[in-house]
Amino acid sequence: MHTMFNPKQIALPPAIGRLAELSCNLWYSWNESALALFARIDPKRWDQVQHNPVRLLTEAEPDRLQDLAQDEDFLRHYEEVLSSWEAYRKEPSWFERNYPQHTGNVIAYFSAEFGFHESLPIYSGGLGVLAGDHCKSASDLGLPLVGVGLLYKRGYFTQKIDEHGSQRAEALSYDFAKLPIFPAYLIPPPSGDGEPAEPRELFVDVPLADRQVQVKVWQVQVGRIPVYLLDADLETNSQWDRELTAQLYGGNQDTRIAQEVLLGVGGVRVLRALGLATGAYHINEGHAAFLTLERIREQLDKGLRFHVALEVIRSSTVFTTHTPVPAGHDAFPLQMLEYYFSGLVTSYSQHKQDFLRLGLDVRKQLFNMTYLALNTAAIRNGVSKLHGQVSRDMFREFHGGIDVQEVPIGHVTNGVHLPTWLAPELKELYSRFLPGTWKSNQANADAWKSIGLIPAESLWSVHMELKERMVKIARANLREQRRRNSLPAERIEEVRDYLDPKKLTIGFARRFATYKRANLIFSDLSRLDRLINDPNRPVQFIFAGKAHPADQPGQELIREIYRVSQQDRFRGKIVLLENYDMNLARCLVQGVDVWLNNPRRPYEASGTSGQKAALNGVINFSVLDGWWEEGYDGSNGWAIEGRNEADWESQERENTESIYRVLEQEIVPVYYNQGALPSQWVARMKRSIQTLAPLFNTDRMVMDYVNAAYVPSLKRTQKFVANNYEEATKVADYKRFILDNWHRVKITEVNDNGARSTGSAGEALKEVNATVRFGPVWFKDVAVELIYYKEQEEGWHQVIVEMEPLRHLDDNTVVYRTAVPAHLKHGSYFSLRVHPVSANFARRFELPLVTTW
């Protein structure tokens, strides 16, 4: 069986009939020519329907459609878009060129939310938008990837700001007949007489506690990539079960665990119903980790032993963690897990403890979803270099207390989808000066060098055009707030004079969580007053963002910003926009001058809003956290300084002082010191684009995942399942043997008074000998290493020296030797360790076993 692409049945004149097909594929959302084509149908209505082409076409006047079908200019545009669409689908892709042998193996990408476009609001913020951008670049690069998620019938929420500055969360309700989404259909194989079978909608049953929950499967087409979304709102389910896919991140812990069962277990069952040959599974944050329990169950049903089944699942699973705070990782009471997986526990009662151990936090006696993902994924990563370090430190104990740098969690730094977030006007400008292949070669730094050739006047002119458009949209947002809150007419009309496109404009827009410190700039209102109301060099601020409906401290941040914005001295110069979504985000990251980001380090795992701004020549001013620590080079933006090792109060004080000082002494003077054309400012804009655009895009990010995670997983899976799971069985049995016998491995003697010699660099060396008793463990299955630390410019650096077997003694005891600098003394300056190794390990410390001396 396979799915059928099923565009909406929209009544259109034959001459423009394929508009229905275009409207049902989110490719339109990152193709400016397609967006412009739909906008031509009815520009005003296009904005009113949130750029949703399905709704636009469904509600369009038939006469208007008939007129367009006879409009030669429109038809020419229509054919150009269709031609681009056909070329996009058929041209050989990056993945096909580089990995033709893996095009038949599906990569399943599981995420609790996907942010593709404002016309499909089933996302809350950064995680969802990242997942959407990931799928778009996967399509652009031609990966055989499918997305799996949940369909939230009421989305996240619409944010309204009332007359007191309080957030009001309004539930959403959608007409799915008018969204770019359609039921997934299965086409069964032909009947025995060769007659084609009738396509049918796809439903799957998901075991949940003492019952089966039926879910309907919906499909979203994202270019070449299908994304399957599960919907429990069916009459066959109880009212409580129907509500499970109602709202994103709603309800209590019971709702949360049930949603995650639907996502993980149900998602795997969807892949099976579709008959997809899935070779790799990507868990995007721990919400989806239950997929591994379902896959282990499948292997047990085939007759594999538990520890072998676990190795099969580990070989093909990739896990990305996004949360640098322990409290942010989902964890459930053990009784709750047993209840919701009662069917699994009953069917495999002999493995109940094996299942529980996969996610057990021994100290808290909770089932931790991140622990489950770490135990079942061979390849794991954070989302920036710093976040990788934070994750290794956070989960060091989980890995047996090895050196933090050796904890097997890497990093793939997040990026953003360039065609989605780069302003069309800038795309056109860049295309005049960059190589012709720059869009398809965006991860190549050489392609961006020609940004320097763009005349400063041209770049500044486009930036000012985008800024003026942003100011118009911001004023409209504020007018609607005031109209809805029944403010007097004069209060509504005064918005006409709010914000000035000529003033230095700083944007702060993101989720209002307390660690992001949206109110840090308000620490000294007198100093802020002097900045904002300087008669010659004024500054203005735009804020936007949602707080979770249950996050009262986050909502208080919104109220504080609103209260400050209403003071006479700041009115019209500090503004708070409502209902931050992808459309408003595009407007802000393309239109402000400076993107401000001041989280409490290191709580910003990566952050991507600043990357979107950088593509558009907006300059970042940020704490050196997340991606900015990698991106900042001293010339492409500004850093908010502070001692990272200081206590929180000191860091807050130092960060605040740095914000004011850098604004007063650097940012404001550079912006205003050149008159109508701030050439120094434009030079920094160019430097920002040149250095950041080639690195922080999702083409680079997805290619990193392919090279470092997906293809290794596909290869490893093929190897592990070949010959009736021969390799998986061998690795699983080896691990079990090592775990059972590691206590017998002992370092019995160390002698560091060996012969002296002179190294190639002229340094004095001495021989060190170590005697290791292995018991039943084969000496070639271990590494014996000497470790010391060497001072370098950036600090003390760990040096690992592999020791060589010198001679064998009785009862599997081996003497090892190596040479080290002669001044090092055992115990004081160097140590020894022994740990298991295998060519079949995905990572060096796959088994958290270390014997030290």
Task: Give the strand order in the sheet containing 830-836.
Answer: 795-802, 782-792, 830-836, 851-852
* pLDDT of amino acid 25: 96
CATH homologous superfamily of 94-156+203-211+220-329+369-414 equals Glycogen Phosphorylase B; (3.40.50.2000)
Nearest to 178 by CA among 236, 250, 125, 120: 120
The torsion of the CA quartet 622, 624, 626, 627, rounded to 10 degrees, works out to 80
Q: Grade residue 1 by pLDDT with cuts at 50, 70 and 90.
A: very low
Tally the C-alpha atoms within 13 A of residue 266's C-alpha that lie toward its C-beta.
Answer: 35
Average pLDDT over residues 51-76: 96
Q: Are 770 and 831 in contact (CB under 8 A)?
A: no
Residue by residue, what is the 3-state secondary structure of 11-73? CCCHHHCCHHHHHCEHHHHHCHHHHHHHHHHCHHHHHHCCCCHHHHHHHCCHHHHHHHHCCHH
**Residue 480 Ramachandran class (φ > 0 left, ψ -120 to 50 alpha, else beta):** alpha
Distance, CA of 434 to CA of 427 (rounded, Å) = 10
Q: What token pair was written down for 591?
A: 């239109």
At 670-725, the pLDDT tens digits run 999 877 789 999 999 999 999 999 999 999 999 999 999 999 999 999 999 999 99
Distances (CA, A) of 815 to 743, 748, 750, 765: 19, 10, 9, 19
Q: Amino acid identity of 559?
A: R
Q: Are 139 and 95 in contact (CB under 8 A)?
A: no
Q: What token pair was written down for 114?
A: 């996907």
Q: Are 625 and 603 in contact (CB under 8 A)?
A: yes
Distance, CA of 359 to CA of 339 (rounded, Å) = 15
Query: CATH topology for 745-852?
Result: Immunoglobulin-like (2.60.40)
Coil, helix or strand at residue 152 = coil
Neighbours of 790 (CB within 10 A): 9
- Which residues fall within 8 angstroms of residue 556, CB to CB, at 6 or more apart? none
Distances (CA, A) of 322 to 283, 568, 720, 815: 11, 41, 29, 45
Tally the C-alpha atoms within 13 A of residue 567's C-alpha that lie toward its C-beta.
Answer: 15
* pLDDT of amino acid 226: 97
Nearest to 180 by CA among 223, 216, 142, 230: 223
**Residue 365 Ramachandran class (φ > 0 left, ψ -120 to 50 alpha, else beta):** left
Q: Amino acid identity of 800?
A: I
Do the bridges between strand 379-382 and strand 317-320 make them parallel or antiparallel, or are there none, so unpaired? parallel
* pLDDT of amino acid 161: 96
Distance, CA of 388 to CA of 779 (rounded, Å) = 32
* pLDDT of amino acid 191: 66
CATH homologous superfamily of 421-696 equals Glycogen Phosphorylase B; (3.40.50.2000)
Distance, CA of 498 to CA of 506 (rounded, Å) = 14
Neighbours of 401 (CB within 10 A): 12
Helix (H) or strand (E) run with residue 689 in it: helix 679-692
* pLDDT of amino acid 5: 57
Nearest to 519 by CA among 549, 541, 550, 492: 541
How far is CA 734 from its chain centroid? Answer: 35
- Which residues fall within 8 angstroms of residue 735, CB to CB, at 6 or more apart? 307, 311, 847
- Which residues fall within 8 angstroms of residue 809, CB to CB, at 6 or more apart? 771, 815
DSSP state of 517: -
Helices 62-69 and 32-41: crossing angle in degrees, nearest 10, is: 120
At 486-500, the pLDDT tens digits run 999 999 999 999 999
* pLDDT of amino acid 2: 52
Distance, CA of 310 to CA of 320 (rounded, Å) = 19
Indicate the length of the chain as a whole number: 853
Beta bridge partners of 282: 109, 318
**Domain locations in the chain as residue ranges:** 2-90, 94-156+203-211+220-329+369-414, 421-696, 745-852
* pLDDT of amino acid 592: 98
Q: Grade residue 6 by pLDDT with cuts at 50, 70 and 90.
A: low
Q: Grade residue 149 by pLDDT with cuts at 50, 70 and 90.
A: very high
Beta bridge partners of 623: 640
Helices 582-591 and 456-484: crossing angle in degrees, nearest 10, is: 140
Q: Amino acid identity of 704?
A: D
Distance, CA of 815 to CA of 357 (rounded, Å) = 37
Q: Is the pLDDT of residue 619 over 80?
A: yes
754-761 long-range CB contacts below 8 Å, 24 or more apart? 754/817, 756/822, 757/819, 759/819
Answer whether the bond into residue 602 is a cis peptide, omega within 30°: yes
Distance, CA of 542 to CA of 560 (rounded, Å) = 14
At 291-341, the pLDDT tens digits run 999 999 999 999 999 999 999 999 999 999 998 887 778 999 999 999 999
Q: What token pair was written down for 704?
A: 């990193």
Nearest to 770 by CA among 738, 799, 812, 813: 813
Q: Is the pLDDT of residue 4 over 70?
A: no
- Which residues fall within 8 angstroms of residue 483, CB to CB, at 6 or more apart? 492
Q: Which of 5-14, 410-419, 556-565 has the lowest mean pLDDT?
A: 5-14
At 212-250, the pLDDT tens digits run 999 999 999 999 999 999 999 999 999 999 999 998 887
Q: What token pair was written down for 310?
A: 């676990």
**94-156+203-211+220-329+369-414 and 745-852: identical CATH topology:** no
Say which residue the tokens 């493995």 belong to: 351
Q: What token pair was written down for 16?
A: 């423009």
Nearest to 505 by CA among 572, 586, 426, 416: 572
Q: What token pair was written down for 585?
A: 């985000």
Neighbours of 501 (CB within 10 A): 16
At 431-451, the pLDDT tens digits run 999 999 999 999 999 999 999
First to last CA, the chain: 59
Q: Are 448 and 435 in contact (CB under 8 A)?
A: no
Q: Grade residue 60 by pLDDT with cuts at 50, 70 and 90.
A: very high
Coil, helix or strand at residue 209 = coil
What average pLDDT does the structure give for the chain? 94
At 466-515, the pLDDT tens digits run 999 999 999 999 999 999 999 999 999 999 999 999 999 999 999 999 99
Distance, CA of 70 to CA of 88 (rounded, Å) = 27
- Which residues fall within 8 angstroms of residue 775, CB to CB, at 6 or more apart? 741, 744, 745, 812
Distance, CA of 713 to CA of 171 (rounded, Å) = 41
Phi then psi dihedrals of residue 504, to 5 deg: -60, 120
Beta bridge partners of 805: 816
**Residue 275 Ramachandran class (φ > 0 left, ψ -120 to 50 alpha, else beta):** left
SS3 breakdown of the chain: % helix, strand, coil, rounded to 5?
Answer: 45, 20, 35
